[in-house]
Amino acid sequence: MRSHLFRINTDPKASMFTDDGNFAKDFITLNFACLACHEDRTVEWAGANAKGIHSLGR
């Protein structure tokens, strides 16, 4: 999936799409941001480790 959305919602229960599935919200979820590469992990793991990850090394 390609997107210009850069805000990551770190709530493991968040849904990236509206209830009817017709529209994407203004963030991406952990499933798209983290678990596409970290396939062996869970969304709970991603939620616990995602906060602040992009500020590391700055």
The whole domain housing 13 covers 1-29+44-58
Please state the pTM of the whole predicted model.
0.68
Query: What is residue 42's predicted lDDT score, i.e. its pLDDT?
Result: 95
Cα separation, 22 vs 4, in Å, equals 18
Per-residue confidence (pLDDT) for residue 55, from 0 to 100: 58
How confident is the model over 2-46, as pLDDT tens digits? 656 568 888 999 999 999 999 989 888 999 889 989 999 999 999
Q: Is residue 9 part of a domain?
A: yes
In this predicted structure, what is the pLDDT of residue 4? 62
Q: What's the CA gap between 56 and 4, in Å, rounded?
A: 22
pLDDT for res 58: 47
> Residue 28: beta bridge partners?
8
Q: How many distinct structural domains can be found in the chain?
A: 1
Residue 10 near residue 21, CB atoms below 8 Å:
no
- Is residue 35 a part of any domain in this protein? no
* Max CA pair span of the chain: 39
Q: Between 30 and 52, name the one with better pLDDT.
A: 30
